[in-house]
Structure 1
């Protein structure tokens, strides 16, 4: 059985290592807790462009879209 997946690309002015984005690891951990064993989240920098990719999977498409947008906005606020 497949679950819905949402991918957001976040274009930024400056690309930093993920662990240098203040508060991001806590944000991702919080979302992992919300998803529990019913979903997953992955945040990674693009290898070639000034952007980050936020992927969220879960059972409820509306819910995971909100979570992906929340993380994308979080990154934009810190790097744009």
Structure 2
């Protein structure tokens, strides 16, 4: 998430491993989702929605998952400390 937040939202050409881009297809759902998240982190909500409409919900789901995992890890540590 941090790397997406620090990436430039401009459409500069760069090295890619995307098979659709390598075949010359202009739009890829995976790349569109990444661009959507980048635009969202830079505050450009309209371009975020234009790049991929699931970008905004994906960020909410990812941050929720990060929160749940951190909370579970902290609870696990607290239970381990109480046993010792």
Asked if Structure 1 and Structure 2 have the same fold, meaning a TM-score greater than 0.5 normalized by the shorter chain, the answer is no
Larger Rg: 2
Report which structure shows greater RCO (CA 8 Å, sep ≥6). 1
In the superposition, the TM-score normalised over structure 1's length comes to 0.28
Bigger fraction of residues in strand = 1
